[in-house]
Amino acid sequence: MDVAMPRRPRRSRRDRFTKILITAMLTLAALFYLMPVYVMVVTGFKAAVNVSLSQMWTPPTSFDVAGYKSAWERLSPNLVTSFLLVIPATLLSGMFGAINGYIFSKWKFRGSDLLFTLLLFGMFIPYQSILIPLIRFLQEIGLYGSLPGLILVHVVYGLPITTLIFRNYFANIPGELVEAARVDGDTVIGIFRRIMLPLSIPAFVVVGIFQFTNVWNDFLFGLVIITNPARQPITIALNNLSGGFSVAWNVLMAGAVLAALPTAIIYILLGRFFIRGMLAGSMKG
Amino acid sequence: MAASQTAPPPRVATSHTTSPSPRGRRSPRESSISKLLLAPSMFAIMVFVYGFIAMSIWVSLSNWGSARMDLSIASEPLETYRRLFTMARFQTDLRNALVFTVLFLIISVVVGLTLALLLDQSIFGRSFFRNIFLFPYALSFIVTGVSWRWVFNPETGINLLLDNLGLNLLLGKLGLPEFWPPWLTTPEVVGDLARWIPALEGLRTQIGLPLAMIPVIIAAVWQLSGFAMAMYLAGLSTISHDIREAAQLDGASTWRIYRDIIVPLLKPMTISILIILGHVSLKIFDLIFAMSGPGPGFATDVPGIFVYEQTFRATRYNLGAAASVVMLIMVSVVIVPYLARSLKEL
C-alpha cells in the first residue's frame, strides 16, 4: 500500500490522457466511415445548379428535394420489384433452412455431416461459375426474365446460409427435449412443429434480417436474369442510373440513399440481430 | 453487397449435449422421414451447385464460342484455357485480383484489429462507434461503388477536400509538389516484378501495383473492415477477464498484455477473417463494376468482370466459362481446406 500510494495519481492522469487519445482516434475513424454517407445525403439535398464541382464538400445552402423527387420517379418501380423479390425469397429460404437445420442438428444420420458440408460449399462459390447453365435452365422452365425465376434462384442459393444459422441455433437446444417427446410417441415432424418451431423465433429473426439484406443487395443475379430495365431490382437500376450521361449528381446520390435506406433502417433498428447473423457460423454456439 | 459476399465462416456449433438418440435406437420410419425432409433442398443444391458447375466445365471445353450454341467438345479440349492464360487482359485480371486481395486483406485486418482494440479500451460510446464502423457492411456494393466514385472524382472529390483543408498549401511551403492524384483515371502501373523474377518475363502484363486499384481497395476496406472488427470483438469477448486480471496483477503493462497475451489469442480469428475476406476479394465483382468497370488499360479489371463481359456482352461462352472455372478453383483453394477441417470437427 505504502509503495503504491504515491504512484496512483500519476497513473490515473496518464490513464485519463490515454482515454482521451483513444476517443479522439475513434472519432477520427468515425469521420472517415461517415464521409461517403455525408456526401451522399448532402449532395442529394442540393439543387442541381449547386452541385457544382467546387462545392462538393460544403453543406447545401437550402434543402432542395428535387433530387430525391427525380430519383424517386425513376427508381420507385425498381424499389417495388426489390420488395416483391426480397420478401418471398427470404421467407422461403428461411423455412427450408429451418427444416434442414433441424434435421442436420437433431436427426443426424450416416453421411449427414458430409451432406451438410457439401451444402455449405454452395455459399462460397463465385456465382459466375454457374450462370450459363442457370440461365439455360430458367429458359427451359420458362422462368427466365421473370421475378419468380429470380426468387427461385435466391431461395436455392440462400439455403446454405439459412441452414447453417438454424443448424447452429438448434444445436444449442438440449437433445433431452427431443428425446422426451419421442418417448411420448411424437414424430419427427411433430417435434419440429410443437417444440422446435416455437423456440426458433429468434433464429427466424436473425435469418430474416440477414437474408433480407443479402437479397436486397444482390447485383449479379438480378443483372443477368431480369433483362427488362423497368423490372430490374433496385441495385441494377441504381447502377444503370449512374451509367447514364445525362444524370445529375444530386439525383444519383439521392438514388443511392433510396437504395440503401431499407437495409440501413434494418441495420439501425435491429443491428443486434444483424450482427448475430453475420457471426452465426463463426462462433461456437 | 457485402453481406451476401461475406457469408460467415463455416465453423459449426457442436451440440452441448450428446446426440438425442443414438443411431441404433432410431426407428427406420424416423430416419427415412428425416432424409425425406432434407431431399428437396439437397436435390436443389446438387443441381444448382454441382450440376451447374459440371455444365460450366463442359462449356469451357466446348466449341461454343459465339451466340450459336455448340456443345461439342473441342478437338483440343483445353485450347480455350490455353488461349485464356495467354491473353494479356486475363493475365492483367489475375494480377489485379492478387494485388487487390493481398492489400485489401492486410489493411482490413490491421484496421479491424486496431478498431477492435481501441473499442476494447474505450470506456464510453463503445456500441455507438461499433455501429458506425460496421454500418457500411449493411449496404450494397453498388451503393458503395457509386458514392466512392464521386468521392474519388479527381477534380472534385477527396483531392478538393484535402486542398480545402490546406494540404497543398502546406506541401507548397515545404517545397513539395502538390498532392492531386488522378485516382481511378490512371492506367499507370508502379513497379515491375519481372525485373527481379526472370520467370515472369514471358507474361504479357506488367506485374506491379496498378494505381487505379488504390481507390477500389480503400472503398472495399471501408465496406468490409467492420466485419473484421466485429469478428475481433467477438473474439475479445471470449478471452476471459481472469487472464487479463492475472496479467495485470503480475505488473504487466496494458501494452504488453495486448502484445503478448491478447493478440496471440486472437490468431484463430485472424485466420477465419483472412479466409472469409480472402474468398470475397478473389471473386469481387459488384463493387468494381459500379465504381470503375474494367478501368483505363484494364487497370481495375478482375476475373469477375472478365467473365461477365465475355459471356454476356461478347457471347464467347466457352471463354467466359473457362475464366469462371479459374475463379472457382481460386476460391476453392481457400475454402475447401477450411470446410474439410470443419467437417472433421463435426
Per-residue pLDDT of A33-66, as tens digits, reads: 999 999 999 889 888 766 666 677 888 777 889 9
Residue of A nearest to B1 (CA): A217
pLDDT in tens, A212-266: 999 999 999 999 999 999 999 999 999 999 887 667 888 999 999 999 999 999 9
Residue B213, amino acid? M
CB spacing of B49 vs A130 below 8 angstroms: yes
Give which of B15, B18, B143 to mutate to test A binding, by max A Cβ within 10 Å. Answer: B143
Report the alpha-carbon distance of residue B323 to residue B85 in Å, rounded: 9
- Give, in degrees to the nearest 5, the angle at Cα B156 between B152 and B158: 45
Q: How far is CA A5 from CA A1, A2, B245, B253, in A?
A: 6, 5, 20, 18
Of B3, B37, B317, the CB nearest to A132: B317
Chain B residues within 8 A of A23 when measuring between CB atoms: 122, 124-125
Q: Which residues 184-223 of B have a C-beta within 8 angstroms of A?
A: 222
CB spacing of B339 vs A120 below 8 angstroms: yes
Report the alpha-carbon distance of residue B271 to residue B269 in Å, rounded: 5
Q: For residue B190, which phi and psi values (nearest 5 degrees)?
A: -95, 135
Question: Domains, chain B, ranges and CATH?
Answer: 91-149+205-345 (1.10.3720.10)
Burial of B177 (0-12, 13-18, 19+ CB in 10 A): exposed
Query: Which residue intervals of chain B are DSSP H helices?
Result: 2-5, 28-45, 52-61, 79-86, 88-121, 126-134, 141-151, 158-164, 167-173, 213-238, 241-249, 254-256, 263-265, 267-282, 286-291, 303-308, 317-345
Would you state the cell numbers that stand for residue A23, as one nine-digit string?
476517443
Of A175, A178, A259, the CB nearest to B140: A259
Q: How far is CA B260 from CA B106, B111, B113, B251, B264, in A?
A: 21, 19, 15, 13, 7
B189 CA: distance to closest CA in chain A (Å)? 26
> With contact defined as beta carbons under 8 Å apart, do B221 and B107 qualify?
yes
CB spacing of B33 vs A116 below 8 angstroms: no
CB spacing of B286 vs A126 below 8 angstroms: no
DSSP secondary structure of B87-152: -HHHHHHHHHHHHHHHHHHHHHHHHHHHHHHHHHH--SSHHHHHHHHHGGGGS-HHHHHHHHHHHT
Chain B residues within 8 A of A216 when measuring between CB atoms: 1, 140
**What is the b/e burial string over B132-170, where b = at least 16 CB atoms within 10 angstroms of the residue's CB?**
bbbbbbbbbbbbbbbbbbbbbbeebbbbbebeeeeebee
Of A56, A126, A249, the CB nearest to B327: A126
pLDDT of residue A60: 79
> With contact defined as beta carbons under 8 Å apart, do B321 and A96 qualify?
no
Higher pLDDT, A185 or B318: B318
Cβ-Cβ pairs closer than 8 A, A with B, add up to 349
Q: List the one residue out of B327, B1, B310 whose CA is nearest residue A126.
A: B327
Q: Does the pLDDT at position A282 exceed 80?
A: no
Burial of B102 (0-12, 13-18, 19+ CB in 10 A): middle
Report the alpha-carbon distance of residue B304 to residue B103 in Å, rounded: 18
Total residues found in chain A within this entry: 285
B138 CA: distance to closest CA in chain A (Å)? 6
Chain A residues within 8 A of B14 when measuring between CB atoms: 171, 284
B162 touches A at CB < 8 Å: no
CB spacing of B311 vs A131 below 8 angstroms: yes
B333 touches A at CB < 8 Å: no
pLDDT of residue B290: 95
Total residues found in chain B within this entry: 346
Report the alpha-carbon distance of residue B12 to residue B15 in Å, rounded: 10
pLDDT of residue B17: 43
Q: List the one residue out of B75, B77, B76 whose CA is nearest residue B61.
A: B77
Report the alpha-carbon distance of residue A208 to residue A169 in Å, rounded: 14
Chain B residues within 8 A of A215 when measuring between CB atoms: 4
Burial of B263 (0-12, 13-18, 19+ CB in 10 A): middle
pLDDT of residue B94: 97
- State the Cα torsion A74-A75-A78-A82 to the nearest 10°: 180
Report the alpha-carbon distance of residue B202 to residue B24 in Å, rounded: 62
B105 CA: distance to closest CA in chain A (Å)? 17
B63 touches A at CB < 8 Å: no
B6 touches A at CB < 8 Å: yes
pLDDT in tens, A23-37: 999 999 999 999 999
CB spacing of A124 vs B7 below 8 angstroms: yes
B110 touches A at CB < 8 Å: no
pLDDT of residue A53: 64
- The mean pLDDT value for A179-203 works out to 93
B267 touches A at CB < 8 Å: no
Q: What is the mean pLDDT of each run of 10 residues along chain B (346 residues)?
A: 48 48 68 96 98 98 95 95 97 97 98 95 87 95 94 86 89 90 92 89 91 97 96 90 83 85 92 94 96 94 98 96 98 94 85
CB spacing of A188 vs B33 below 8 angstroms: yes
Q: Which residues 308-327 of B have a C-beta within 8 angstroms of A?
A: 308, 311-312, 317, 320-321, 323-325, 327
pLDDT of residue A57: 83
Predicted structure pTM score: 0.91
Of A56, A99, A137, the CB nearest to B156: A56
Strands (E), chain A: none
Q: List the one residue out of B59, B104, B52 whose CA is nearest residue B77.
A: B59
B149 touches A at CB < 8 Å: yes
B205 CA: distance to closest CA in chain A (Å)? 24
Q: How far is CA B307 from CA A130, B56, B201, in A?
A: 11, 12, 26
pLDDT of residue B22: 45
pLDDT of residue A32: 95
**What is the b/e burial string over A180-216, where b = at least 16 CB atoms within 10 angstroms of the residue's CB?**
ebbeeebebeebbeebbeeebeebbbbbbbbbbbbbb
Of B13, B49, B115, the CB nearest to A284: B13
Residue A244, amino acid? G
Q: List the one residue out of B57, B324, B42 whose CA is nearest residue A120.
A: B42
pLDDT of residue A14: 75
CB spacing of B142 vs A216 below 8 angstroms: no
Burial of A17 (0-12, 13-18, 19+ CB in 10 A): exposed
CB spacing of B132 vs A30 below 8 angstroms: yes
Of A57, A168, A263, the CB nearest to B164: A57
CB spacing of B13 vs A124 below 8 angstroms: no
Radius of gyration of chain A (CA): 25
B119 touches A at CB < 8 Å: yes
A48 CA: distance to closest CA in chain B (Å)? 15
Strands B209-210 and B189-190, by their bridges, are antiparallel
B306 CA: distance to closest CA in chain A (Å)? 10
CB spacing of B147 vs A36 below 8 angstroms: yes
pLDDT of residue A52: 64
